[in-house]
Amino acid sequence: MGVNDRPLMRVLAGEALWPPPVWIMRQAGRYLPEYLATRAEAGSFTRLCYTPELAAEVTLQPIRRFGFDGSILFSDILIVPDALGAEFRLDAGEGPRLRPTVDREGLDRLASSLPLERVAPVMQAVRLIRAQLPAETTLLGFCGAPWTVAAYMVAGRGTPDQGPALAAARTDPGFFAALIERLVESSITYLVAQLEAGAQAVQIFESHAGSLPEDLLETLSLRPIGRIMAGVLERRPGSRIIVFPRGQGRRLADYAALGAAAIGIDQDTDLPTALASLPAGVASQGNLDPNLLLEGGAALDRGVDRVLEAVRGRPHIFNLGHGISKDTPVENVARLLARIRSAA
């Protein structure tokens, strides 16, 4: 099977498939007992990300169990700041932590471009995964969008509203623009390396797009993502890029116009309205509320059917509106797949 015969790749090329191909954001993760076992073996989250054999193992676990059409590299959006020198760690019971980068001096202490030798284990994981994946499964690489990654870098952790990064963008726009610029260049290098190692498409996660006010959306989100896409496409013409601007459901057409093959849609966005706003030929992805997967049963079935009805006849990749919850019963994921794959 050639790369372009894979169902998920066909949809990224604009073809409507029935039933649609499916993968789940955070499909490798804490709801799976085998993930918890490998994570314990690794000792820490970053060791898991930087040990090619273990990262490949957890990437493949949900494929073996469920046969998703897409397999997403197991890593994290905070690996890029870590490789730049920001010291990412994830301790038990806490969210991610980084050494905060709050001004020009802090930025000057970081690497001026992404050190490829530091992310070499990630690329080795990509090669190991591709070698073991079924031929029909698409391997997705990814990175965080500059605004979303910068929000963690400035605060040194997750925050409810990205307040520290918004304040920095307003009070020290020169520093903030330089930080975004560093992340644009690093992300191009990082995504191109993933594509060269065997990823067949990549997703850019703008998970905190929703916290950006109207007057900052263009400079801090749309333009940087557009520059990453142009940089990747210049070096790898024809690359398929999925953009997920969570919390900006009314601006999906603006993100699509950057050259995206597909646009991710969160669960707070009305699906028929969002689909009507997308240009023909741009695929859609997502929208199912992760809480329905937590709940299961008839509520889950109805949610799945509602998405299927809305996307019939257009290129769509079935997925959630955000990552799967760690408390999700594994059997609900099996039920979701069975429902999609038996869709008439």
For the bound state, the minimum distance from the C-beta of residue 174 to ligand 1CP, rounded and expressed in Å, comes to 26
Catalytic position from the list 65, 76, 130, 301: 76
- The C-alpha atoms of residue 28 and residue 48 are separated, in whole angstroms, by 12
Query: Measured at the alpha carbon of residue 297, what is the angle toward residues 296 and 300, in degrees to the nearest 5?
Result: 60
Our CB check for ligand 1CP shows the closer of 66 and 74 to be 74
- The C-alpha atoms of residue 46 and residue 222 are separated, in whole angstroms, by 29
Active site residue 152: yes
Our CB check for ligand 1CP shows the closer of 14 and 127 to be 127
Active site residue 251: no
Residues 142/187, Cβ–Cβ less than 8 Å: no
Active site residue 312: no
For the bound state, the minimum distance from the C-beta of residue 156 to ligand 1CP, rounded and expressed in Å, comes to 12
Our CB check for ligand 1CP shows the closer of 14 and 118 to be 118
Our CB check for ligand 1CP shows the closer of 26 and 182 to be 26
User: What residue ranges bind ligand 1CP (CB under 6 A)?
Assistant: 25-30, 39, 45, 72, 74-78, 90, 95-96, 142, 144, 158, 205, 207, 323
> Pairing state of beta strands 240-245 and 201-206?
parallel
Nearest one of 113, 181, 196 to 147, comparing CA atoms: 181
For the bound state, the minimum distance from the C-beta of residue 63 to ligand 1CP, rounded and expressed in Å, comes to 11
Our CB check for ligand 1CP shows the closer of 40 and 131 to be 40
| C-beta nearest to ligand 1CP: residue | 158
Catalytic position from the list 31, 35, 50, 152: 152
Catalytic position from the list 6, 26, 227, 314: 26
Give exposure, 238-272, as e/b (b: 16+ Cβ within 10 Å).
ebbbbbbbbbbbebbebbbebbbbbbbbbbebebe
What's the chain's Rg over C-alpha atoms?
Answer: 19
For the bound state, the minimum distance from the C-beta of residue 77 to ligand 1CP, rounded and expressed in Å, comes to 4
Catalytic position from the list 10, 30, 118, 236: 30
Catalytic position from the list 39, 182, 246, 251: 39
For the bound state, the minimum distance from the C-beta of residue 323 to ligand 1CP, rounded and expressed in Å, comes to 4
- The C-alpha atoms of residue 322 and residue 140 are separated, in whole angstroms, by 16
Token pair 């990064």 is found at 165
- The C-alpha atoms of residue 147 and residue 229 are separated, in whole angstroms, by 15
| Residues with catalytic roles | 26, 30, 39, 76, 152
